Structures are given as structure tokens and as C-alpha cells.
Structure 1
Amino acid sequence: MTQSVVVQVGQCGNQVGCRFWDLALREHAHVNKKGVYDEALSSFFRNVDSRKNGGGACDIGGRIQYLKARAVLVDMEESVVNEILQGPLREVFDSTQLLTDVSGSGNNWAVGHMTYGSAYREQIVDKLRRAAEHCDCLQCFFLIHSMGGGTGSGLGTRVLSLLEEEFPEVCRIVTSIYPSAEDDVITSPYNSVLAMRELTEHADCVLPVENQSLVDIVNKIKHMSQGGKPGSVIKRDSTIISGQGGLSGTEKPFDAMNNIVANLLLNITSSARFEGSLNMDLNEIAMNLVPFPRLHYLVPSLTPLYTLADVNVPTRRLDQMFSDAFSKDHQLIRADPKHSLYLACALMVRGNVQVSDLRRNIERLRPSLPFVSWNQEGWKTGLCSVPPVGHSHSLLALANNTCVKPTFMDLRERFTKLYRKKAHLHHYLHVEGMEQSCFSDAIASLSSLIEEYHHLDATKGRLMPDAPRLSIAT
């Protein structure tokens, strides 16, 4: 059995990560009624209970302390990690795998990447190595961070480069939370573009998630649940935005948004945690969905986001789930893949779904999805038999699609508006190791990425005569 390690960096990364661990424990407890430490649990948890000859438990009530999450928690401002350590999941995290400071990164990528990245380099590497040593067969690192602030963007991408240095053969999947255009962090365009260069160079796959998309989904679900329209009543406890997870205190506005991202992680890791008739190896995601090494940004789409009380016809509900996965309302990034080019697509299904259901729906949807000409059969599918708690089945679609280009163009435009005026630049240039060339290199990297997507778009599915311009992954 393979194991994976989750690395949570910054306030957002740790809040999302905490919600993931809470939901993962609930899933395992739901399946593993006796609370026995088994292979499914070992994929993301290690057993530290020596009193039962290696036995362990996932009982949420009282025996949770026998498990430790395969996690590394990093934040340069200690409040969120302290909150986690005072919450219901406090025993799940190994205190030696936490790293905090007190002052934060001041919404400055350079402080996170250069200052803290250098000061804490050895400690970070030590914690990563220790997490890896606890694994029998380390398959993947999951990095969770945000792009707009200083620690998530700066130190998060520094950790990513350290992962590549220390574990070059281990897959690196990054979940990156992108700020909205109305973000209250004035320097977020700088931080995001500087981080983008690192993601493009050092990640195997990036799952971009936009704050605005999360807000839209949460508002839509709340509107439906309060609307009370006949035939569209949402069942209680069947929406993925309910509950706040292992944090103490009152529920915050972003808890519902964090839940959506945590459910994305639950679905992508389900095949690693549970049995299935067609399990998808995590390494296969990059292998099958990334034909060009830099074009590894995969648009995630999640369904169902809720369960309607009136839909009782299994086939209709199942087919609707597949249709929803390709609608803009269920995407975690604002984009329109149906009018852009698919390079590849993965469908990760959970629950009582048959291979025949998968094939039928792929054939039904295929005519409306424009695939690049040299990869018309670019589908990767996975079937995990265990559904999320509260649902009969679920689907995560990961689309490698050129529709991410407008998002990146918008980010470049917001960066340029600030950079043209040299606004707030001095805060970055005062940081030791940071030079103005870092900005020009970052924007050049982003522009090159946009151009590569544009070049593919321009072919409209034809085989490219100058294909070598895009280096092919080997």
C-alpha cells in the first residue's frame, strides 16, 4: 500500500487541510466500523498506538489519538495552527511536524520565499524527511496553499522547490487558492504572479481554485436551500458546505468555501484510501493528463454539491452528475472548457457506479467536448467503491483544458497595473535576495505559459506543424 503526505502552508492551507483531515476521518470511521488500523487508514495516517501490538483506531469519539496524520503544518503566523491544536483534531497532528513563527509574511511573497524560506530551510527539510521516513512507499506530496498572501505564496512555493530537490521522484500535486479580482490584499497580483513561476517550474500538477468560484457555489447552494422551491429541496447534511471541521470557535464565512476544497482533496485521494474496481494511481494523474510539462494546470469540477430530496431515479441522477461535471456551475475556477480545447480529462467516480455507466456517459458527452486532434481518446477514469458520507455517489472531473488562459491573462493584467506604477515595489526590493529581475522573470514566465495555451487554441485541434515549440513530457 502506498502513502502520501499533505503539506499545509499558510493560513488558508492549514484551514483547508484541517477540514480535509476531519472529513477523511469521518469517511474512514463510516467504513471501518471496528476502528481497526488497516491499509486504507495507513495511506494518510500512521499508527502510534503501541498498546495493541500495532492496532489502532479511527473512532472519532475517543480513540482518535492513536492515529497521526501524515502531515506537515507550516505557517509564519501562529494563530491558525494554535487554533487547530486547541480544536477537536489536536491529537491527530504530531507536534514535531509543526512549524510556526509569530510575525507573518506581511502579504509579501519575498518575505515568505526569501526570508523565511532561508531561515527555516533546514527545519522544513527535516520535517519533510521525517514524514517521508514514516512511509513504506511514498507516492505523492499534496501541497495546499493560497496565492494571494505572503506565506502561502512565498514560503509555499519555496517548500515546493525543496520537495523537488529532496524527493525528485515523488509526485507533487498542488492545490492553489487564487484570489478574486476584489481581493483585499493589494499586493496579491504580485504574490500570485511570482508564485505562478514557481508552480510552473516545480509542480507536477496544479489544481487551481478561485475564491470567487467558491463564493458563487456557496451562494448558489444557500439560495437553493432557502428558496424552498417545489422539487428542489436540499436534503439535510447532504451538502458539502456544511460543518467547519477541526477548528474551534464560531463558524466563519470562509468555512463553507474551505469545505469545498477539502472535498476536492477527498475525491482525488479516494482511490489511494479505499478499494475500487478501477482504482486510479495518483501518479497516473500527471502521467495521463499532462502531455507538456508546463501545461499541468487541471481545472477541477465537483459534483454533486448537494442532494435534492426529489431525485429518486438512480440512472437519471447518475447521468445528471456527469453532465454537471462539465457545466460551469460546478467548476472551482471560472472558465468555459466547452469552448476551449481539451488536452485530456480524468473522471474520478465514487460510489456504486459501474464501468458501463462511465462508458455510456463518456460516449454521450464526447461529441460536445472539443479534444485536441492527437488525443481524441484522452480520458482517464477511476472508480472507487466508497462514496462520500451523505451521498450515494460523487464525481471529480480534472480537465487539462486551455480555458485556464483567460484566468492567467486576467492575473497578468492586474499585475501589470500595479507594476507599471511601481506601486508597493519597494516593500519587495528591501528584502534580502529579492531583485527587480524576479518580477520581470515571473511575468515573462506567465506570458510564455499564456502563449503556449494560445498556440494550442489556435490549432483548433489540428496537429501542430511546429509542435516542438511545446516540449513534450517524457
Structure 2
Amino acid sequence: MTQSVVVQVGQCGNQIGCRFWDLALREHAHFNKSGLYDDTIGTFFHNVDSRNGVHLAGGERIQMLKARAVLVDMEEGVVSEILQGPLRDVFDSTQLLTDVSGAGNNWAVGYMTYGSTYREKILDKLRKAAEQCDCLQAFFLLHSMGGGTGSGLGTKVLSLLKDEFPEVCRIVTPVYPSLEDDVIISPYNSILAMRELTENADCVLPVENQALVEILNKIKQTSHGRQSGAIMSGGIVSRKDGLIGSERPFDAMNNIVAKMLLNMTSSARFEGTLNMDLNEITMNMVPFPQLHYLVPSLSPLYSLADVSAPTRSLDQMFADAFSKGHQLIKANPKQGLYLACALMVRGNVQVSDLRRNIERYKPLFPFVSWNQEGWKTSLCSVPPVGHTQSLLALANTTGIKSTFVELRERFTKLYKKKAHLHHYLQVDGMELSLFSEAVTSLDSLIDEYHNVETGKLISDLPRFNMAK
């Protein structure tokens, strides 16, 4: 049995994590009617009371089940909210690390100041989480790119994970700010964080706020007049009539990201005829070490609904997965070349139907010449709660290059004016050269995608062997 640890950093990372644990508990409770602790639950939870194996059949006993998680935030608000909500018994004090002042939307404060101050405490909590695993397979890091704690301390934690656990897969879900982000210096934070992601992550599943907003608008249009289930802010089950009352729009956005993570980890948690090991994702999807940014798309789309979202056929879900409207980061799927594509299906789906759809889409999306058969598939027999089937596609495509070019342009507009740089340079350990190094790193990443796209592969570019 393999286990994974979720590391949540900053407000955004902890809010997404809250949704993930909520939905994961729901899934295991729904499909594990006996409530007994087993290998599937053990993937992300551990049993703290071996005298009694019953955990999910009754809310009064949930305290025996603890999440394999580390929660970090330099403000107390979100973590305190989690600890006062229905999930409070899933965590204990050894998993938490908070401060009161926050990082002031400054990457340098998060990375340099708090990263130095809390380095040993963070390492201690990571080690304790790892020690609870019999076979640690992966760390999942959740954080934002635009703020200070998420971008700065989040990528510092990533660096510590690489140094302390170099053999353990590091899968990162960063949330990128939208063009209308209210943090004016978010391009600085994002560029500085990008360098760390490129150098220290094994696999990155980027999510973009603007894409999530557009998905929610799409859901609202298609579900008009139809009732749906809902999950309330920070809690388990809420009302059945949608996003109203105390529920906030970003709760629904976080819910979509959490569902993406649930689909990605479904093979590790449940039985399936064609299960995919988490390590297989990096082995098959990342032919070059730095080109590890995978575009996620999800079908069916539903925000806070658990029971009433419309059923989609497998053919419809394939059409969704290769359309811009279902991607969690805005990148044109019809531009550029595919290096690889993973299709992770849940539900009662036949392998023959899965292969038929792959053959149907092969001519439409060009792959690099040296990996024409770069399709990786998994089939987990357990669907999401309230649905018959679902599909998560993870595409390693050069089309994501446009997202990084746009980010660089936003950074350049600020940097040319030297706007707000003094906020960074007054932080101990921060130097102006780190900005130029971060931009050089992003330029190199964009160039590598361009070289793959044009067939001009760099001869000395490290390359992994593709798994068969």
C-alpha cells in the first residue's frame, strides 16, 4: 500500500485542501459502507486508534481518522476556520504551522523571511508526516502564485521537499492569478515562483483563476433552472439549491480544483481494471525534466453539485476534455504539439470504448514525431459520488507556452518601470539579480517548448526514457 502527503500552504492552498479532504471523506464513506479502515482510505488518511477499525460509519468516530497533511499559513484565519469547522477532528496540532502577520503579498517575505524563520519547524512536520507512511509515494503541494505566503513560502517548501525527500515524487498544483488580479505585484510573485517550480517540481498541474471563473459561468448557464447539491463554506453538506447564502464564489472554484485532484488520485484509492500509479504520470508524461507542466481538463463540469449534474457519455466527455471550456488553465488545445496525454477515467467504462475514442482523436491533435503513441490511460471502476463516470485529461502540450509568454509580458510591464521593487529589495537576502535569474529561467522554459514545437531539440537537453 502506498501513501501520499498533502502540503497546503497559504490561504488558497488551505482552502483547496479543505475541499479535497471534505470530498475524499465523502467518497470513502459512500463506497465503504462498512466504515472499516482499509488500504484505500490509508492512501491519504491514517488510523490513530488501532483498537477499533470503524471510522466512517458515524460522525462521532471520525476523530480516529487523521489526514496525511501539513497545513502552513502565515495568517491564522483560514486554518482557524478549518479547525472550527466539521473537519476539525481530521487534523491535530502536530500538522499545523501558522503565524499572525502574513507575508504581505511579497514573495521575498514568504521565501526569504518566513522560509528561514520556520525552516526547521516545517522540516519537522514534513518528516513526521512521512514517518506515518509505510511506503511514501508522493507529496502534493497546494498553493497560489500571486500572493506572498503561497508563492514564496510555498516554493520554499517545495525546495525543502526536494532536498529532504529527493526520491519522492513532488506533484504541485499552483493557482495562477487572473489578469484582473487585485494584487498589483502578482506578476513579480508568479515569475519568482515559476523558477522554483521549474527547477524543483516533478509534475505541475497549473490552475488559473480566470479559467475557473469562466467554468463557473459555463456551469451557471447550463444548469439554469436545474437544482443541484451544494457544499457549504468550510463544511460538509449544505443546501441543495446551489451557491447562495454564506457560500462564496471561490468556494466553488476551489471545489473544481479539489475534484481534479480526486480524479487524479482515484486509481491510488480505489480498484480499477486499468489503474495508473502516480509515479507513472511523471514517467510517461514528462520526457524532459523541465517540461513538466500538464494542462488539466475535467468532464463533467459541476461546481458545488454532488447529485444533479447532467450525465455525460464517454464520447461527450472526450469532446469536453479537448475543448478550451473545460481546461483549468487557459491554453489552446489546438495550438502546438502534444508531448504526451494522460486520460484518467472513472466509472463503468469499457476499455474498448476508451481506445475507440483515442483512435478517433489521434488525427486531430498532432504529437511529436518521437512519441506518436504518447497516450496514457487509466480506468478506475469507482465513479465520483453522484455520477456514473468522469474524465480527467492531463496534456503535456507546447500550447501552454502562450500562458507563460503572457505572464512574462505582465511582469515586464511592471519591471520596466521598476514599480514596487523596493518592497522586495528591503527584505533581507533578496537581491535584484533574482528577478533577472527568474526571467532567464522562464525564457529558457519558453525556448524549450519552442524547440520541441519546431523540431529543434537541444542536443544536450536532458531527456527521460518513456515508459512503455
Question: SS of 1:338's equivalent?
Answer: coil
Shift in alpha-carbon separation, 1:274–1:120, aligned structure 2, 3 A? same
Partner Cα distance (2:67, 2:381) in 1? 23
RMSD across aligned positions (CA): 1.8
Question: SS of 2:150's equivalent?
Answer: helix
Unaligned runs of 5+ in 2: 239-244
Of 320, 323, 326, the match for 2:322: 326
Question: SS of 2:205's equivalent?
Answer: strand
User: How far has the Cα of 1:456 moved from its partner?
Assistant: 1.7
Question: SS of 1:254's equivalent?
Answer: helix
Partner Cα distance (2:215, 2:20) in 1? 18
Question: SS of 1:410's equivalent?
Answer: helix
- Give the match for residue 49 of structure 2: 49
Of 439, 449, 470, the match for 2:461: 470
Tell whether the 8 Å contact from 1:29 to 1:60 is kept in structure 2 after alignment: no
Tell whether the 8 Å contact from 1:47 to 1:56 is kept in structure 2 after alignment: no
Question: SS of 2:249's equivalent?
Answer: coil
Shift in alpha-carbon separation, 1:430–1:472, aligned structure 2, 3 A? same
User: How far has the Cα of 1:35 moved from its partner?
Assistant: 0.5
Shift in alpha-carbon separation, 1:385–1:243, aligned structure 2, 3 A? farther
Partner Cα distance (2:308, 2:145) in 1? 37
State yes or no: 1:190 paired with 2:188: yes
Matches within 5 A, 1:203-214: 203-214=201-212
State yes or no: 1:246 paired with 2:235: yes
Tell whether the 8 Å contact from 2:345 to 2:389 is kept in structure 1 after alignment: yes
Partner Cα distance (1:450, 1:342) in 2? 15
Q: Percent identity?
A: 75
**AA aligned opposite 1:359:** R
**AA aligned opposite 1:204:** D
Tell whether the 8 Å contact from 1:298 to 1:400 is kept in structure 2 after alignment: yes
Partner Cα distance (1:192, 1:110) in 2? 12
User: How far has the Cα of 1:34 moved from its partner?
Assistant: 1.1
User: How far has the Cα of 1:61 moved from its partner?
Assistant: 2.7
Partner Cα distance (2:235, 2:265) in 1? 19
State yes or no: 1:357 paired with 2:353: yes
Under a length normalisation based on structure 2, what TM-score does the superposition of the two structures give? 0.94
- Give the match for residue 257 of structure 2: 261
**AA aligned opposite 1:28:** H
Under a length normalisation based on structure 1, what TM-score does the superposition of the two structures give? 0.93
Matches within 5 A, 1:198-237: 198-226=196-224, 228=225, 234=226, 236-237=228-229
Partner Cα distance (1:194, 1:311) in 2? 41
Of 114, 117, 120, the match for 1:119: 117
Partner Cα distance (2:144, 2:371) in 1? 32
Tell whether the 8 Å contact from 1:49 to 1:56 is kept in structure 2 after alignment: no
Of 350, 367, 390, the match for 1:394: 390
User: How far has the Cα of 1:242 moved from its partner?
Assistant: 5.2
State yes or no: 1:409 paired with 2:405: yes
**AA aligned opposite 2:277:** D
Partner Cα distance (1:235, 1:351) in 2? 23
Shift in alpha-carbon separation, 1:219–1:310, aligned structure 2, 3 A? closer
Matches within 5 A, 1:21-420: 21-52=21-52, 55-59=53-57, 61-226=59-224, 228=225, 234=226, 236-237=228-229, 243-246=232-235, 250-306=246-302, 317-420=313-416
Partner Cα distance (1:310, 1:131) in 2? 36
Question: How many equivalent residue pairs?
Answer: 455
Tell whether the 8 Å contact from 2:205 to 2:296 is kept in structure 1 after alignment: yes
Partner Cα distance (2:232, 2:377) in 1? 30
**AA aligned opposite 2:358:** I
Unaligned runs of 5+ in 1: 229-233
